[in-house]
A and B are shown apart, each in its own frame.
Chain A
Amino acid sequence: MAPAPAAADPVLAASGVSLDLGDTAVLRDIDLVVARGEVVCIVGASGCGKTSLLRLLAGLLHPTAGAISYEGYPVRRPRSDIAFVFQDYGRALLPWRNAAQNVSLALEAIGVPRPARGKRIEELLHKVGLDGHAEKLPRELSGGMQQRLQIARCLAQEPSVLLMDEPFGALDAMTRQALQDETLAIAAASRASIVFVTHDLDEAIYLGDRVLGLAGSPGRIGETVAVHLPRPRDQLTTRENPEFVRLRRALHDFIGTVQSDRHAR
């Protein structure tokens, strides 16, 4: 079993972050700390700013107020040790490069010399279960495989933080479950932290060490639950665990309250 993450070893933090886009207030007073090796899941209804929060953490957006910091240093632009996995994998892969070349893009970006790339690409494709598909173009791969490829490319950056924006939302249930477990395995092996955005409560509880509920307009962090379920997680037993059910109820109620509040207004 992997050691529990040290609570006092923050890797990525947002303090007092607010975001306005144009005239719309998207996020308000977001405080969040991600510890090394931790899996933090963010749930919320559509439109509450989950994706924007993730983009802020990645350095793709600048906060209107507050600051994002990585290892204590302010994040002003994207860094190679923070990797972003997009939901629309089809559009995030280069259609004119095959699988190996897509992974190579990340290696080129961080400056890995050409002779060293081949071996790394092989290792990464193996890690996500895509060996033998190196020569295939993205359009020749299934949805699940394309997402794996994107993950492989992100892993090529050797990130300490993996930001994942509803990465499995467009996939069928079985593929989703397989990828959930693979993601947990990869994270455990590399000690990377994960910030995982999803609207699926079950997924959030299954994956996370902590689940944050984002709600309202502008979005605020309403509820934070710690998930004390045993690791490694298992699709069958973990989901039947009474603690799992309790957590799901708690979060469901929270989302429900927010929804009815919104409708009442």
Chain B
Amino acid sequence: MKAQRRRLGFNWRGLVLPLVFLLSVELIAMASPIERDAFAAPSAVLAAAIRTLHSGAALRATSETLITAGSGLLLGFAIGLIGGIPLGLFRRADQLMMVPLESLRPVPPVALIPLSLLIFGFGYAMEIAVVAFAVIGPIFLMTRSAIRGIEPQLMEVSQALGLGLIARVTKIVLPAILPRIFVAFRIALGIALVVAVTVEITANPLGLGYAMTIAQQSLQPDLMFALLLWIGLTGWSLNALLLRAESRLFGAAA
């Protein structure tokens, strides 16, 4: 075993692989400047990214995706929360709803894309519906488990104080589960974005997913990769933002 090595401040080795990869792709692209439909030099991708951001096309597509993902998220979040609270509080109600809910759970949200298409046609509504459905399940489960995880003594306090149901929910349950709900929201946001992009790639002609599909179909791989990176960046920054808010608001409680 080697003697303890003083740790460097930054892991330089982590950069080796990406740099080698990007460099070799760039060199290959330069060496054979044939039109490729799947291959793009990193420099071209960067140029395409700047172009599309500058022209506003990327931002327009981003706003479309975010609006649908956001609306679906809020809708699904509300339903999941409102449904999850009583079922978390009352074991009997939970058992009662078990069969209907467990029958819905295994259905993958993407299975609803054709149905949603049939009912709403192309456009925002169809996508919002699928996102909402995708989000309801996880939110519901996380709300229920958050409520189950409430310190039992808090519930005893509410009983001792003789609080009515509404008062109990608003004064004790909701504040107690707030940190976990925030985490659930953040996770659901990730799900909402992924589902939104998936719907756009599969069927719906709006948003970033559709933009990527168009780029691929019109043989613009540089734009396609640029959009892919942009999607990743968007998801990552939204998640990072919410993480920051989480630690700001809740600190260690989250």
Touch between A and B in complex, CB under 8 Å? yes
Residues on the B chain within 8 Å of A22, using CB: 4
Tell yes or no: A64 within 8 A of B by CB: yes
Q: Who on chain B is nearest to A23 by CB?
A: B4
Whether A61 and B4, one on each chain, are in contact in the complex, defined by CB atoms closer than 8 angstroms, is no
A241 CB, nearest partner CB in chain B, Å: 44
Asked if A148 is at the interface of the complex by the 8 Å CB criterion, the answer is no
How many A residues have CB within 8 A of the partner chain?
5
Query: Which secondary structure dominates where chain A touches chain B?
Result: loop
Cβ-defined contact, B3 with A64, below 8 A: yes
Residues of A within 8 A of B3 (CB): 62, 64
Does B165 sit at the interface, judged by CB under 8 A?
no
**In whole angstroms, what is the CA distance A61 to B1 when docked?**
7
Q: For the complex, would chain B's binding face be called helix, strand, loop or mixed by DSSP majority?
A: loop
Asked whether, in the complex, the Cβ of A62 is within 8 Å of the Cβ of B1, the reply is yes
Tell me the chain A residues, 59-79 only, with Cβ under 8 Å from chain B.
61-62, 64
In the complex, what residues of B have CB within 8 A of residue A62's CB?
Answer: 1, 3
Do the beta carbons of B1 and A21 come within 8 Å of each other?
no
- Distance to closest chain A CB from B3 (angstroms): 7
B residues in contact with A64, CB < 8 Å = 3
* Least Cβ–Cβ distance between B139 and chain A, in angstroms: 36
* Nearest A-chain residue to B5, judged by Cβ: A22
| Distance, CA A210 to CA B142, complexed state (A) | 61
Contact with A along B1-39 (1 / 0, CB 8 A): 101100000000000000000000000000000000000
Which residues from chain B contact A61 at a C-beta distance below 8 Å? 1
B interface footprint on A7-44 (CB within 8 Å = 1, 0 otherwise): 00000000000000110000000000000000000000
CA gap between A82 and B66 in the complex, in Å: 64
> When chains A and B are docked, how far (Å) is the Cα of A21 from the Cα of B1?
12
A250 CA / B18 CA spacing, docked (Å): 65
Instruction: Report the bound CA distance from A263 to B3 in whole Å.
Output: 31
B1 proximity list for chain A (CB < 8 A): 61-62
Q: How far is the CB of B163 from chain A (nearest CB, A)?
A: 43
Q: Quote the shortest CB–CB distance from B2 to chain A (angstroms).
A: 9
CA distance A61 to B4 in the complex (A): 11
For the complex, give the distance between the alpha carbons of A62 and B1 in Å: 7
A22 to B4, CA, bound (A): 6
The 6 closest A-B pairs by CB, nearest first: A22-B4, A62-B1, A21-B4, A61-B1, A64-B3, A62-B3
Residues of A within 8 A of B (CB): 21-22, 61-62, 64
What are 6 A-B contacts with C-beta separation under 8 Å? Answer: A21-B4, A22-B4, A61-B1, A62-B1, A62-B3, A64-B3
